[in-house]
């Protein structure tokens, strides 16, 4: 075993330095040709392996927060060798861990004889000679280059020097690629946030808006799933929207119980970052075993917590970087603001609808109903006068007999003008106007109800039943109320009456030839009464009780 520093050189290395200089220059020039980070890293490890003449090479990306390798790019491993390795080393132990703790060049003739060696997974190829150097981007250690099994003997001081030159150039190339990758990531997240804001402000329903946020965030974060959780009445949080490549059915409805450590942070407006959802004791849901690294980001705006955006990656997936965490947190803040604005816009639109409906109802009441009622009163007065005139004419004819023919003729003429048929027609006109007034009043009440809310008054519940039956019947039943039904009908009486109404409407739907249904609800001193009449053949009338 031999451990040497950079200044330690073998005398016989000088002869081989000159032929390899062109190869070094070629490797230095080639590592900076690609701006895509992952392609750059793979190219670096392949160039280093070829330059030094090693059988195996690896480039480990170091996470300074965790003190471990987050990714390992390899060269020289065959497909069969890869399949025999259950997982690649993570740098928590062994010589890879030594380089992470002390980022200095390390050269060994036989790594198996070094007491610090270890941590190789089962099925890993046998290795002896070892050379490792750190890769620095500016002053930060980005990762380490590892080479093993040189073809023509142990690694030399010249190999170490050349690898350090390549690592130095690789640091510059990685810095450029990382900068380019960060810019591209920011661009994608900004575009995604803008797309979400645009989609939410187009008036999507609340459920669709949450799904839009979950779907877009999942794609941007390269996550296995994107879910949105909202607070429950019990103090927990429930998944209300989920976007995943698999069936999201088992995700929606999953609840984080009150008192969970994760929930405490989320309700306090803090983001939660999890390295492995399957093993983290803070994760308590039954679906956690499916996922690995995860971000849970509060959706809050102006101190108001709307919910939580969770972005878990698959089990064993790549951990989130600091840049990804920052961009996802900014996206969550933007999405929360868009949700608040969309909700405010929806409320404004709903308020405008309510105001318009209230105006229509007011106009119907002030103009139409009052005029109809005045017309009804005039017709009723005319009908009574006609009836009185007919009665007086009949009395005069009886008293005068036939003594005065001319008077009798006049009486007969008066009888023709005020005949019983005219009186009957006037009565029918009054009844029709009264029915029309009842219909308009029912329409006014319906306009005053919120369109999406369940009715709380008895009158509203009756209208909801008839409105629902209209879908099956193909026409809207007419509804008439008599008396203060909302005040006089007790809750204990309302449910049986509504059940009878549903049964009568269902029976009318089954009868042939029904094209009109009249529903009458009356509040009397004896209790509420229901009458349902249709125009079937024969016509049918149902009364309750």
pLDDT at 14: 46
pLDDT at 208: 77
Task: Give the percent of the chain with pLDDT over 70.
Answer: 72
- What is the pairing mode between strands 478-482 and 541-544? unpaired
Calpha distance 307→277 (Å, rounded): 19
Residue 15 has pLDDT above 60, yes or no: no
Task: Decide: 522 and 482 in contact? Cβ < 8 Å.
Answer: yes
**Nearest Cα to 144, choosing from 101, 207, 202?**
101
Q: In this predicted model, what pLDDT tens digit does every residue of 128-187 receive, in sequence order?
A: 888 989 988 877 888 888 899 888 888 888 888 888 888 888 888 888 887 888 888 888
**DSSP E strands, 368-449:** none
**DSSP E strands, 303-389:** 304-314
pLDDT at 11: 41
Task: Decide: 221 and 325 in contact? Cβ < 8 Å.
Answer: no
pLDDT at 25: 66
Distances (CA, A) of 532 to 331, 478, 492, 501: 57, 10, 21, 8
Q: In this predicted model, what pLDDT tens digit does every residue of 19-40 receive, in sequence order?
A: 666 666 666 666 666 667 788 8
Residue 393 has pLDDT above 50, yes or no: yes
pLDDT at 371: 67
Ramachandran class of 513: left when φ > 0, alpha when ψ lies in -120 to 50, beta otherwise: left
Calpha distance 200→334 (Å, rounded): 12
Q: What is the mean pLDDT of residues 366-390?
A: 69
Q: In this predicted model, what pLDDT tens digit does every residue of 207-216 receive, in sequence order?
A: 677 888 888 8
Calpha distance 146→446 (Å, rounded): 77
Q: In this predicted model, what pLDDT tens digit does every residue of 396-423 receive, in sequence order?
A: 555 555 444 444 444 444 444 356 666 6
**Nearest Cα to 505, choosing from 458, 459, 545, 471?**
471
Residue 337 has pLDDT above 70, yes or no: yes
Task: Give the percent of the chain with pLDDT over 90.
Answer: 0
Q: What is the mean pLDDT of the chain?
A: 76
Q: Is 494 exposed, middle or buried (0-12, 13-18, 19+ CB in 10 A)?
A: middle
Q: In this predicted model, what pLDDT tens digit does every residue of 260-301 receive, in sequence order?
A: 888 888 877 788 888 888 888 888 788 888 888 898 888 887
**Nearest Cα to 288, choosing from 275, 303, 301?**
275
Q: What is the DSSP letter of 251?
A: T
pLDDT at 353: 66
Task: Decide: 524 and 483 in contact? Cβ < 8 Å.
Answer: yes
Q: Tell me the pLDDT band of 315, cut-offs 50, 70 and 90.
A: confident
Residue 93 has pLDDT above 80, yes or no: no
Q: In this predicted model, what pLDDT tens digit does every residue of 503-531 receive, in sequence order?
A: 888 788 778 888 888 888 888 877 888 88
pLDDT at 142: 84
Q: Tell me the pLDDT band of 441, cut-offs 50, 70 and 90.
A: low
- Of residues 64 and 314, the one with the higher pLDDT is 314
Q: What is the mean pLDDT of residues 452-473?
A: 72
């Amino acid at each position: 075993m031999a451990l040497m520093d950079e200044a330690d050189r073998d005398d016989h290395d000088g002869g081989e330095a000159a032929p390899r200089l062109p190869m070094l220059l070629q490797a230095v020039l080639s590592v900076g040709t690609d701006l895509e980070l992952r392609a750059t890293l793979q190219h670096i490890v392949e160039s280093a392996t070829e330059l030094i003449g090693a059988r195996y090479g690896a480039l480990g990306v170091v996470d300074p927060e965790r003190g471990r390798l987050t990714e390992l790019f390899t060269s020289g491993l065959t497909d069969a060798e890869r399949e025999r390795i259950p997982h690649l080393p993570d740098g928590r132990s062994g010589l890879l861990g030594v380089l992470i703790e002390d980022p200095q060049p390390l050269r060994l003739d036989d790594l198996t004889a070094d007491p610090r060696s270890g941590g190789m997974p089962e099925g890993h190829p046998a290795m002896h000679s070892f050379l490792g150097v750190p890769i620095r981007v500016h002053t930060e250690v980005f990762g380490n280059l590892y080479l093993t099994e040189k073809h023509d003997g142990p690694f030399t001081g010249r190999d170490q020097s050349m690898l350090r030159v390549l690592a130095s150039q690789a640091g510059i190339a990685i810095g450029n690629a990382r900068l380019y990758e960060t810019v591209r990531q920011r661009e994608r997240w900004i575009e995604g946030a803008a797309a979400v804001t645009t989609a939410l402000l187009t008036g999507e329903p609340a459920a669709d808006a949450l799904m839009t946020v979950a779907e877009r965030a999942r794609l941007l974060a390269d996550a296995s799933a994107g879910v949105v959780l909202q607070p429950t009445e019990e103090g927990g949080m429930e998944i209300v929207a989920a976007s995943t490549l698999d069936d999201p059915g088992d995700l929606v409805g999953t609840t984080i119980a009150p008192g969970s450590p994760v929930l405490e942070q989320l309700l306090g407006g803090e983001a939660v970052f999890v390295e492995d959802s399957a093993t983290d004791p803070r994760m308590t849901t039954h679906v956690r075993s499916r996922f690995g690294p995860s971000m849970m980001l509060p959706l809050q705006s102006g101190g108001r917590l709307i919910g939580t955006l969770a972005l878990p990656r698959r089990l064993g997936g790549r951990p989130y970087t600091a840049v990804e965490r920052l961009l996802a947190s900014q996206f969550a803040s933007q999405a929360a603001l868009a949700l608040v604005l969309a909700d405010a816009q929806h409320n404004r639109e709903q308020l405008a609808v309510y105001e318009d409906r209230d105006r229509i109802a007011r106009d119907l009441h002030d103009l139409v109903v009052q005029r109809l009622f005045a017309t009804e009163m005039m017709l009723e007065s005319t009908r009574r006068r006609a009836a009185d005139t007919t009665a007086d004419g009949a009395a005069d004819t009886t008293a005068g007999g036939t003594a005065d023919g001319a008077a009798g003729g006049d009486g007969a003429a008066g009888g023709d003008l005020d005949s019983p048929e005219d009186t009957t027609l006037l009565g029918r006109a009054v009844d029709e106007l009264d029915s029309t007034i009842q219909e308009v009043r029912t329409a006014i009440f319906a306009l005053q109800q919120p369109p999406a809310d369940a009715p709380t008054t008895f009158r509203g519940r009756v209208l909801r039943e008839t409105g629902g039956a209209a879908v099956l019947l193909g026409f809207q039943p007419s509804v008439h109320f008599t008396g203060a039904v909302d005040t006089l009908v007790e809750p204990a009486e309302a449910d049986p009456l509504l059940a009878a109404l549903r049964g009568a409407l269902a029976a009318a739907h089954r009868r042939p030839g029904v094209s009109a249904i009249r529903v009458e609800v009356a509040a009397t001193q004896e209790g509420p009464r229901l009458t349902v009449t249709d125009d079937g053949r024969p016509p049918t009338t149902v009364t309750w009780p």
